[in-house]
Amino acid sequence: MPKSKGVPKAKKWQQKVKVAPEPETENDFLELADDNEKGGGKWRVGDSAKAARFFQRALDAYDTGLKKYSSSFDLTYNKALLQYQITQDPRILKHFGDETELLQETLDSHRRALQLDQENADILFNTAQVLTSLAEILGDEDNIFSKEKARKFLRESLELFSACLTKQELDFSEVQAQMDELSEESNQDGGGGVSLNPDSASEKISPHNPPEELATVVEPITSSTLLDTALAILSSLSLLADLSAPSHDSTLATITELASPLIQTKIPQYISLLSSDVPVDTIAARSSGPVLSLTATTATLSLTADQAPQISPQQAAKEEAGLAIANFTASISEAEYGSMQISEGTYLARLTSAFGPLCSGVIPNPFTNPDPEASSFLSPSLSTQNIPSAALAKLSKHQADTLAAYVGVLLDFCGSVAKKFPLSSSSSSMTSAQDSYNQTLATQRTVLTYSLHLLTLAQTSAHFSTTQKLRLRLLTGDAQLMQRRVVLEVRGQLSEWGPKDETNEPRVLRKAALAVYERVKEEMKGASGNGSGEEELARDVEGKIMVAVVLGAGMEGDDGDGVKGTVVAFVKRFGREALEEALQEGVEDGMVGRRGVGFVKGVLKLVK
C-alpha cells in the first residue's frame, strides 16, 4: 500500500496571502460597503454585471452590519441610498430584478432611516424622491387601484418635501446668521482669513459619528439646495396633476394653490441669492466631480471645452427653473382641459406663453394670443423658411431640452383635443359643433406642422444621447400619424376600417411614419449596448411599427395576412398585454381616429 503523501505544502505565494479580517465595528462595515461601492462605480459603464456584483456585496455588508448594529443611522441611510441609486440606472437595475419591487424595498429602507432621524433633511428629501419614483411607475398602470396608490404616494412625498424645505430654510437662516456674525467679528478685528463662502462644503462632525470614530463631510444648506427642493416639489405637483384628471372636485385648484408660492415667490427668491458672475473655472469645475453617477439614466454627449457656453450659476438656475415651471403649466393645463375646466384656446395659449419665451431667438413662434378664449389664434402663415438653419448646430443644452419638452406638450395637446368632439341631438347645435370641430382640426394641423419643425431643430443638437435622439425620431413618426388622422377627419372619414382611401396624403403620411420607425429600429441594432432603457425603447418601436402597419389594412387596402403576421410576431415577442398597451397608446396619443375602441377590438381579434 503506497504511503500517503500527506498534506502538500503551500506554495510561497500562497503563504503570503493574508485573509482580510472579518468586520467587527460599525465603521468596519461602512468601510467594507464603501470599498465595494467604489468597485461597482469603476465597472458601471464597462461591465454592468460585474458592477452589480460589487453593489450586491455592498448591500450584503450593510445587511450584515445592521444585524449587529440595528440602530445605526449611517448603515441604514447608506443602504437606502445605494438601493435608490441602483433603481435609477437601468443598466444596473436589470441585474437586480423587478423595478417596482426594488423601489418598494428601497422605500422600506428609507422609512427605517426616517424613523432613526426624522429631522434629517437628506433622508426627508430622498424618501420623497423614492415615493415619487414609485408613483410614476404605478401611474402608468391601467387600473384605478394603482393610480389611487400613486396619488397616495405623491401626497406623502409632498408632505416630506415640504418638511424638508422647512428644515432647510431654517438651517440656511442659521448659516446666514453665523456668517453675518463672523463677518462682523472679522470687520471689528480689522480683517482676517475667515472664509464666508456659503456655497462651499465644510467638514463637520456628524451627530451619528462621534469624533473618535469617523468625521463626515456635511454639505451646508445653500440657495442651490433650496432651489433643488422647490423644483422637486413642483415636479411632484406636475405628476399629481397628470394623475388627478379628469377631476370634478377641488384637487386641481389645490395643486395650483400649492404651486403658486413656489413659482411666484420662493423660486425667484432662491435664484436671486445665487451668484450672477461667471466663474473663471467653469470648465474645470464641469470636468471634475464625482466619478460615480448612478442617478443618470442615460449618458449625455458633452461639448468640448471651447464649445461649452459659460454662464453664471444664477442664469443656469433661471433656465432650469423656467423649464420646470413651463412643464408644470403644461401638466396643470392638460388636466384642467381634460376636466372641462378650461377651453382649447386657453390650453394652447398657456403652452405658448410658457414655452414661447424659452424658445425665443431659437425658432419663431407662429402663435399669437389676441383672445385666449377664441376658437383659433394662429398666425396665418408658418413656413420652414423661417427657421434659422445657420444656428441649428449652436443650440445650448438648455435650448435643446426646451425644444424637446415643447414638442412633447404640443403633441399632448393634439392628443387631448382629439379625444373631444362636441355632439348634440339638435341639428342647429350639431352644425355649430361641427364648425367648431373643423376649426379644432385646423388648429391641430398647424400645431403638428410646428411640432415637426421643432423636432427637426432639436435633432441637430449634440447634447442628446443616442437613445434620446432615437426617441425624438419616434416623436416625428407620431406627429406624422397624428397628421394623417387629422386629414382623414377633415374629409369626414371617421373610421379606421372604412372604405379604401383613393387619395395619396394619408398613405404618404403613414408610410413616412413607418419609415421613421423602421429607421429607428435599424439604428438601435447599431447602437445596441451603448445606452440604458434599450429594452423599453425596442418594445415602443415595435409597437409603433405594428400600429402603423395595421392602420394601412383598412382604407389603404394593404395585405391582411401581412398585417396579421406583424401583430402575431409582436405578441410572440412582447405578449398580448404589450399589444393592448401599444394599441391603446395609439388611441390616447391621437394617432388613431375617434373610433379607436373599435380599431383596438378589431386588431385584438387577429390574435384570439
Write out the DSSP string of 59-97: HHHHHHHHHH-TT-HHHHHHHHHHHHHHHT-HHHHTTT-
Can you tell me the distance from the alpha carbon of 551 to that of 508, in angstroms, rounded to the nearest whole number? 12
State the cell numbers at 218: 456635511
Query: What stretch of H or E contains 582?
Result: helix 576-588
DSSP code of residue 263? I
Binning pLDDT at 50, 70 and 90, where does residue 281 land?
low
Can you tell me the distance from the alpha carbon of 565 to that of 572, in angstroms, rounded to the nearest whole number? 11
Least confident of 55-59, 247-251, 494-498: 494-498
State the cell numbers at 369: 394670443
Query: What stretch of H or E contains 578?
Result: helix 576-588
Closest CA to 236 of 141, 162, 334, 337: 162
What is the tens place of the pLDDT at every residue in 71-123? 999 999 999 999 999 999 988 999 999 999 999 999 999 999 999 999 999 99
Can you tell me the distance from the alpha carbon of 353 to that of 358, in angstroms, rounded to the nearest whole number? 9
Residues 6+ apart with CB under 8 A from 449: 382, 483
Q: Is 162 exposed, middle or buried (0-12, 13-18, 19+ CB in 10 A)?
A: middle
Can you tell me the distance from the alpha carbon of 59 to that of 52, in angstroms, rounded to the nearest whole number? 10
pLDDT of residue 242: 95
What is the tens place of the pLDDT at every residue in 356-409? 888 876 666 666 543 444 334 444 344 444 444 444 556 788 888 898 999 999
Can you tell me the distance from the alpha carbon of 301 to that of 463, in angstroms, rounded to the nearest whole number? 5
What is the tens place of the pLDDT at every residue in 207-230? 455 444 555 556 789 999 999 999
State the cell numbers at 118: 426624522
Q: 281 to each of 285, 288, 304, 318, 396, how far by Cα in Å?
A: 6, 11, 15, 20, 19
Region 51-61: mean pLDDT is 96
State the cell numbers at 127: 424618501
State the cell numbers at 278: 461667471
Between helix 121-139 and helix 73-87 the angle, nearest 10°, is 30
Can you tell me the distance from the alpha carbon of 307 to that of 305, in angstroms, rounded to the nearest whole number? 5
Can you tell me the distance from the alpha carbon of 588 to that of 590, in angstroms, rounded to the nearest whole number? 6
DSSP code of residue 384? G
pTM, entire model: 0.82
Can you tell me the distance from the alpha carbon of 423 to that of 478, in angstroms, rounded to the nearest whole number? 27
Region 46-60: mean pLDDT is 94
Closest CA to 239 of 158, 305, 313: 158
Can you tell me the distance from the alpha carbon of 48 to that of 126, in angstroms, rounded to the nearest whole number? 24
pLDDT of residue 432: 66
Judged by phi (left if over 0) then psi (alpha if -120 to 50, else beta), residue 312 lies in beta
